[in-house]
Chains A and B, each alone.
Chain A
């Protein structure tokens, strides 16, 4: 395997609604800032890969306009995934591993405030039995949470603790959308929005973008004193049909973590992008995390959820902790699909 490291990362603020800017205009300053941070120009970038969703934009081939933010002249080598930018990063990493590139620019962006996200997400469900019922994403997640509660895997208090932790951590973040001092009892006194989920159990919906540069050793060592080396990178998908999945565990995260070598040593920092508190618990369990790990120091997805960028941002936030020396080993997680259907695990190390 080639040594590849995260060397640059920028992100926009997570906002419930960008009033004036369109999704490309949200992305433009993020890419500009990344160029300023790294000094990397288009001449040095061998591969560009992006993640976004035309379903969020409400128009086909909407992602093409994102290239305005990158500049595609002279012609560039470019690709796109209809997924979170974390999967675009995976494609770029594979491209580098195959020897087709040394430096890659990756970005994820979305403006979900233009549509109705919980309903749009229903289109991810199987098109014959589930999707025609139009179950919104919060109701589907609530059914999963109910299963876990009934099985005694976690309590509503455990769930509320994740919201308190992540929104509290996010107080130090300048891009988070939901942050502050909350209490478990205060949250538990709130009404349900979809039993057993309360508002605080749900990640916000955010407009936003993030961008990253990964590079092989020569460039990485030039740009960072302590590059965040990608030592493990896996993603696994579970079947579409809920009936054949174990919804009380995240088996795909477990397998991805095992393949990425997450459990071989202590994890200092974990950045998780599960959009519901009970899913945070399932991911923590799947990764084998305990009190020894600083979980979601940025606040994670529960503090800011720029859909199609939130997973890439978790990897960027984990990389920042490696760069500044506060973590030797960090793990980042991204998810896609209903009830944690597909999960990606990225292991970063300082050495």
Chain B
């Protein structure tokens, strides 16, 4: 910009910043408090029995509210239903390139969880069996960051038929 006060203003920078105090909500709070204890909670729709993970306030298909009685505990194992090898850096993901993002269908759940897989790039595949790698217990908080990443486990691949509806 020119120092001459008589020159027209050509550039104007408007800074917008708003602060929020975010509320996770009743259902997500229940989920995160369980994660703090090292547990995964899903919620089971009373209409069709589908299990939603992470849990949410109501069934998005049938609009039935999920209460405490809908809660089911799930294991921290699952199946890779799809994946992507990332070779482009992203501002808020401080991982060394390349890395693998995966959609993991936790056993017993009907919705997949997006996370990162620590494995050889050549090994990752649909149907691969994986398990959560938790941070040391002393570092657990009410955050999904308690899970560092997923790792492959020594189990036969899941049959495509078992997860084809969840890709």
Contact = CB atoms under 8 A, between A and B. Distances in A.
Interface in B26-56: 26-29, 56
B160 interface: no
Interface in B55-91: 56-65
A32 B59 CA distance: 12
Interface residues of A, number: 33
A325 interface: no
B23 A111 contact: yes
B26 A73 contact: no
Interface stretch (A18-26, A173-181, A183-191, A245-253): A18-26
Chain B interface, >50% SS class: loop
Chain A interface, >50% SS class: helix
B61 A115 contact: no
Contacts of A18: 23
Contact of A20 (B14, B20, B26): B26
B16 interface: yes
Interface residues of B, number: 25
B21 A114 contact: yes
B56 A68 contact: yes
B57 A128 contact: no
Contacts of A69: 57-58, 63
Contacts, number: 79
B65 to A, nearest CB: 5
Given A20-B23, A21-B23, A128-B12, A116 B60 contact: no
Contacts of A97: none
B18 interface: yes
A22 B57 contact: yes
Contact of B58 (A19, A20, A68, A128): A68
A71 B24 contact: no
Given A71-B63, A115-B19, A115-B20, 15 more contacts: A21-B25, A24-B25, A25-B25, A68-B58, A68-B59, A69-B63, A71-B62, A71-B64, A72-B60, A73-B61, A73-B62, A114-B21, A114-B22, A120-B18, A123-B18
14 contacts: A20-B25, A22-B28, A25-B26, A25-B27, A28-B58, A72-B61, A73-B60, A114-B22, A123-B16, A123-B18, A127-B14, A128-B12, A131-B14, A132-B14
